[in-house]
Amino acid sequence: MAELVIAGYAIDDKLLARKPIRRCRLEACQAACCSDGVWVDHAQAERILAHAALIQPFLPEARRDPSQWFAELHEDPTFPSGRCIGTTTVADPTHPNGSTCIFLRPSDRRCAIQAACLAAGRPAWELKPYYCCLFPLVDEEGEGSGARRLTLDDENDLFRRGGGCYELCAEAQPVFQVYAEETALALGLEGYRQLCQHAGVAPRL
């Protein structure tokens, strides 16, 4: 069957599969996905640093020094700026995994970057790393048509450790509908609605 391509992305069958699942609750997953930090496009990291004063009040005092926030700059042509850098990880004995990304608040397991934007009346995902906003969806190098592939990241150690990102429920729906906001982030709103039309479901957004 021909590959479904929308807004430049090949849509993985995993996203079209119907499953009786709903989004996980933060209280249950404890933001397991934030345990290891994340690779960020260097330009995006610079943007976060330029907004340090906005973000600092949302972190515990010991984590407010911006020079501690990122480490390990690498050349990487898969990132838009050609370079990426990692958010640092710090020990957090209150987290089930024992360590987390420096930006994960121990008090409520929310991302300080997102919390700061929301408190300032800015869009929640304005400064948060793109990879984090999209997760548990991921975009990867594609095959076949050459388009990048949008898929669900469900085959990794994170899922085995309990960051399942979904709970079982009674109503089956296409997986992309569970993650409608993330799908729309990658495909754009029009692309998301096109996918709904293809799957024969009413758009949630």
| Residue 129 found at the interface with ligand SF4 (CB under 6 A) | yes
Three-state DSSP class for 92?
coil
Which residue in the set 6, 11, 33, 84 belongs to the binding site for ligand SF4 (CB under 6 A)? 33
Q: Name the nearest CA neighbour of 183 among 171, 196, 166, 167.
A: 196
Site for ligand SF4 in 38-57 (CB under 6 A): 38
The length of the chain is: 205
Report CA 119 to chain centroid distance, whole Å: 20
Please, what's the b/e burial string for 96-119 (b: 16 or more CB within 10 A of its CB; e: otherwise)?
Answer: ebeebbbbbbeeebbbbbbbbbee
What is the smallest separation between the CB atom of 84 and ligand SF4, expressed in angstroms? 13
| Residue 111 found at the interface with ligand SF4 (CB under 6 A) | yes
Q: Is residue 193 within 8 Å of 7, Cβ to Cβ?
A: no
| Residue 87 found at the interface with ligand SF4 (CB under 6 A) | yes
Which residue in the set 6, 10, 24, 115 belongs to the binding site for ligand SF4 (CB under 6 A)? 24
What is the smallest separation between the CB atom of 197 and ligand SF4, expressed in angstroms? 26
> By rule CB under 6 A, what count of residues binds ligand SF4?
22
Contacts (Cβ under 8 Å, ≥6 apart) of 4 = 10, 11, 16, 198
* 141 phi/psi in degrees, rounded to 5: -55, 135
Which residue in the set 69, 103, 125, 176 belongs to the binding site for ligand SF4 (CB under 6 A)? 103
| Residue 26 found at the interface with ligand SF4 (CB under 6 A) | yes
Between 13 and 167, name the residue whose CB sits nearer to ligand SF4.
167
| Residue 135 found at the interface with ligand SF4 (CB under 6 A) | yes
Which residue in the set 63, 86, 136, 176 belongs to the binding site for ligand SF4 (CB under 6 A)? 136
Q: Site residues (CB under 6 A) for ligand SF4?
A: 24, 26, 29, 31-34, 37-38, 87, 101, 103-104, 111, 113, 128-129, 132, 135-136, 163, 165
